Amino acid sequence: MNNDLIKSIEEKYTNLGENPETYLNGLLQTKPITYWDYIQVDTLLSLQKTRTDFKDEEIFVIYHQVTELTLKMMIHEIKQLSEGENLSEEVWITKLDRLKRYTRMLITSFDIMKDGMSYDDYNIFRAALTPASGFQCASFRYLELYSTRLENLLNKQGKERLPENPTTDDYFSHIYWKDAGLNRKTKESSLTLRLFVEKYEAGFKTLAEQVKGKTLEERIAQMDNPSEELKDKLKQFDHFYNVAWPLVHLDTAQHYLDRKGETKAATGGSEWKKYLHPKYQQRKFFPELWSQAEIENWGS
């Protein structure tokens, strides 16, 4: 065996204050790694728990689990940009290309939802999912909080309701996604929203405080003269995630909920036609990069 390799191993564990021989003896007893153990295949494939006997419900579950894993990959990339200091443009462009690629996966994967399930079966088994809703995906909110300042997560009406010198609590009171389940006039919330807020909102607020000054939007603002290439990559990601994907989501919802003018309610009870549209959400990660005309025609 290569003596330099042995020496490097000994130095590694000695520098950690450990006995290298203990680790080498442990290596003698370790079983070879297999794909199924490394990926945890048996565990992963056991996580599809359906509530009905309709076969396509399993497709529905798997699709959403794949979406969650894709969002986790995106958050993994975004956190590195948020937490990194003085990263080069090359790193930013590489990460943004990855984020665009992952978002494209989300966009194209909606074909599975739209054309990969039985229309009739879905419209029966989905009743068993109430009040659960994709709206309750916390990964969406984590990604947004890492990407941009809280004020960019309010639509025009939400911003008009803000008091002067708003606090984090004020922003969350008027954040765009609460419009999916909160009647602003009566202050009544849907069960879907209440359960989501109860489980996640405290953590969202903590994260919002932790990332102040470190969102992707603010990291870009701290750069000296970012290149046109970088700004173009940022705009592409912004449009992919905040316009193209919501519109595909809306199209898929219309396929199942508005076919033949039936206008069914979403499982979470939201006004989905209005809520899902980027014109209504008005979510932008990098508003300073867009012209006034582009902002006014957002989602058109």
188: amino acid identity, one letter: E
Domain that holds residue 216: 62-296
Angstrom distance (rounded) from CA 283 to CA 241: 10
Give domain status of residue 90, yes or no: yes
Angstrom distance (rounded) from CA 129 to CA 136: 12
Q: How many domains does the chain have?
A: 1
The CATH number of residue 86's host domain is 1.20.58
Give domain status of residue 195, yes or no: yes
Angstrom distance (rounded) from CA 148 to CA 289: 13
Give domain status of residue 48, yes or no: no
Instruction: Judge whether 103 and 247 are in contact, CB under 8 Å.
Output: no
Instruction: Judge whether 233 and 289 are in contact, CB under 8 Å.
Output: no
Q: What is the C-alpha radius of gyration for the chain, rounded to an integer number of angstroms? A: 23
**Count of other CB atoms within 10 angstroms of residue 59:** 19
Give domain status of residue 3, yes or no: no
* Separation of CA 137 from chain center: 8
Which of helix, strand or coil describes residue 182?
strand
Give domain status of residue 19, yes or no: no
Give domain status of residue 9, yes or no: no
Give domain status of residue 2, yes or no: no
pTM equals 0.90
Helix axes 3-15, 20-29, angle to 10 degrees: 110
Angstrom distance (rounded) from CA 104 to CA 275: 22
User: Which pLDDT tens digits describe the chain residue by residue (300 residues)?
Assistant: 688 998 999 999 999 999 999 999 999 999 999 999 999 999 999 999 999 999 999 999 999 999 999 999 999 999 999 999 999 999 999 999 999 999 999 999 988 888 888 888 988 998 999 999 999 999 999 999 999 999 999 999 999 999 999 999 999 999 999 998 999 999 999 999 999 999 999 999 999 999 999 999 999 999 999 999 999 999 999 999 999 999 998 888 777 666 555 555 555 555 666 778 999 999 999 999 999 999 999 998
Give domain status of residue 44, yes or no: no
